[in-house]
């Protein structure tokens, strides 16, 4: 989750740039300044190209033995599934950080967005602690044979 929080400030490509790439297949994502099209489908041509750039970087790093040595030998489809899963999480984090409309029709201020994100994060962490405690207690009860 922490890695995806970095994407709350992601600056996606302009919609016109994405549309142009979709129609003309020229321009598009650049490895030196990789941007996910946050408002497009993950399976859009733009985002597929982003995933392929990441996949190429993994292959190159493994070939040069500079990184990713610990990764098991798997198919490109396997790695692309992982890349798309990470991109989906990044899109979710980015979407949660976008300004929302308040009941009075005004957009949230940056401070209100930040407060909303912090409150949601605290609620998620609290739920995670509750579930962890429940699971731990239930495992202890099972292993001891007692009724807790």
From residue 52, alpha-carbon distances to 81, 128, 138 in Å are 11, 34, 44
pLDDT digits (tens, 9 = 90+) for 47-95: 999 999 999 998 888 888 776 667 778 899 999 999 999 999 999 989 8
DSSP state at residue 106: P
* Tokens at 120, concatenated: 């949601």
pLDDT digits (tens, 9 = 90+) for 97-131: 888 888 899 988 889 888 888 888 888 888 888 77
Answer yes or no: pTM beyond 0.75.
no
Residue 3 pLDDT more than 70? no
Q: How far apart are CA 42 and CA 51, in angstroms?
A: 9
Q: How far apart are CA 27 and CA 21, in angstroms?
A: 6
Please count the helices (runs of H) and the strands (runs of E) in the chain.
5, 0
Q: What residues does each domain of the chain span? A: 1-98, 102-148
């Amino acid at each position: 989750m922490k890695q995806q929080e970095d994407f709350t400030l992601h600056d996606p490509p302009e919609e016109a740039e994405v549309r142009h790439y979709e129609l003309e297949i020229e321009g598009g994502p650049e490895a030196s300044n990789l941007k996910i099209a946050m408002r497009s489908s993950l399976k859009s041509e733009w985002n597929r190209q982003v995933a392929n750039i990441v996949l190429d970087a993994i292959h190159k790093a493994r070939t040069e033995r500079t990184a990713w040595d610990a990764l098991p030998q798997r198919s490109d489809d396997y790695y692309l599934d992982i890349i798309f899963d990470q991109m989906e999480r990044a899109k979710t984090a980015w979407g949660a950080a976008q300004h929302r409309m308040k009941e009075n029709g005004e957009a949230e201020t940056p401070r209100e967005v930040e407060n909303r994100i912090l409150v949601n994060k605290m609620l998620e962490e609290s739920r995670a602690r509750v579930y962890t405690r429940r699971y731990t207690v239930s495992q202890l009860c099972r292993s001891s044979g007692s009724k807790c």
